[in-house]
């Protein structure tokens, strides 16, 4: 055994969790016992676990080998909240900008970017907007502008190693609105460039429909219900929605689903 996945396999043989025929399982256990005296295997796997943890791989070895590898090193889960009213105001402006960095190997959250944004065209939030999103006026007053937040996103991406050409990452949203409509529309209105990393993404609704065979008409609520998951936090909170997206992705990955880009190239 020379790696973590080997430790996981042997651990499975010892626990009987692997689905082998009883006679094969018995012989496999005997072979493992002959190869590794009592305590040696456990000490070896413990050393490997500590080494992996020191390099940022904190998930258990069994969990890491329990679902197929994804195409991306990291998924960047994003869900904007924006100014709104009935009838809708124009232009809409982003007021909450959350991103969760999800490790593509473990499907665990490794880092969080979360900022509120000061709207400039319609600086006063409507009662409808506050009721829908839970964002009150004091949460956006005095906050950075969208341009400043985008600069901080870029700094965070660089700090997290996500701008390294050898690192494959992609944004994930619940629908196409965030990165197809909202961000490019507001950037165009303000005369701001849109970074290339925002120009390709995975629409979780499409991924869910590929995996489960049904379209989630009510978005996260339907996906959580379809997967028997508890909804996290309050609907239309950007950061809570991101946590729900991440939880749904983790569940689908453990079921063997491989996530692929759904957006068309710009």
CB atoms within 10 A of CB 143: 17
CATH classification (class only), 74-255: alpha beta
Active site residue 81: yes
Give me the catalytic one of 93, 96, 160, 236: 236
As a whole-number percent, the residues of the chain with pLDDT over 70 amount to 75
Residue 118 has pLDDT above 70, yes or no: yes
Please report the pLDDT score of residue 67 as a whole number: 80
Sequence ranges of the domains in the chain: 74-255
Higher pLDDT, 237 or 51: 237
Active site residue 236: yes
Please report the pLDDT score of residue 185 as a whole number: 97
| Residues 153-172, mean pLDDT to the nearest whole number | 98
Q: What is the mean pLDDT of the chain?
A: 84
Rounded CA gap, 118 and 63, in Å? 41
Residue 38 has pLDDT above 60, yes or no: no
Lowest-pLDDT range, 60-69, 133-142, 217-226? 60-69
- Do residues 137 and 95 make contact, with C-beta atoms less than 8 angstroms apart? no
Residue 32 has pLDDT above 90, yes or no: no
Please report the pLDDT score of residue 85 as a whole number: 97
Residue 225 has pLDDT above 90, yes or no: yes
Which segments of the chain does DSSP mark as H helices, in order?
Answer: 4-15, 22-35, 40-54, 61-64, 127-133, 137-140, 146-159, 183-190, 204-212, 220-226, 238-254
Rounded CA gap, 153 and 179, in Å? 15
Rounded CA gap, 36 and 43, in Å? 11
Residue 156's Cα: distance from chain center in Å?
16
Longest dimension (CA), the chain: 74
Q: What is the pTM assigned to this prediction?
A: 0.76
Residues counted in the chain: 266
Give me the catalytic one of 14, 81, 231, 254: 81
Tokens of 251: 């569940």
């Amino acid at each position: 055994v020379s790696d973590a996945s080997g430790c996981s396999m042997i651990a499975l043989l010892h626990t009987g969790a692997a689905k082998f025929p009883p006679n094969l399982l018995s012989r496999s256990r005997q072979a493992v016992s002959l190869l590794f005296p009592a305590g040696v295997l456990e000490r070896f796997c413990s050393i490997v676990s500590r080494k992996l943890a020191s390099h940022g791989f904190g998930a258990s070895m069994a969990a890491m080998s329990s679902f197929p590898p994804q195409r991306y090193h990291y998924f960047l889960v994003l869900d904007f909240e924006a100014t709104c009213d009935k009838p809708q105001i124009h232009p809409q402006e982003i007021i909450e900008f959350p991103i969760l960095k999800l490790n593509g190997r473990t499907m665990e959250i490794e880092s969080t970017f979360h900022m509120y944004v000061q709207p400039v065209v319609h600086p006063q939030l409507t009662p409808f907007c506050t009721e829908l999103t839970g964002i009150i006026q004091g949460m956006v007053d005095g906050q950075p502008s969208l341009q400043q937040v985008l600069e901080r996103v870029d700094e965070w991406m660089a700090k997290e190693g996500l701008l390294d050409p050898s690192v494959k990452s992609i944004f994930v949203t619940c629908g196409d609105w965030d990165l197809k409509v909202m961000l490019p529309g507001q950037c165009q209105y303000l005369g701001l460039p849109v970074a290339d990393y925002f120009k390709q993404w995975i629409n979780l609704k499409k991924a869910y429909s590929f995996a489960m065979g049904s379209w989630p008409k009510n978005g996260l609520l339907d996906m959580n219900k379809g997967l028997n998951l508890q909804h996290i936090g309050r609907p239309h909170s950007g950061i809570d929605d991101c946590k729900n997206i991440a939880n749904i992705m983790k569940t689908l990955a453990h079921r063997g689903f491989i996530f692929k880009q759904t957006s068309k190239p710009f």
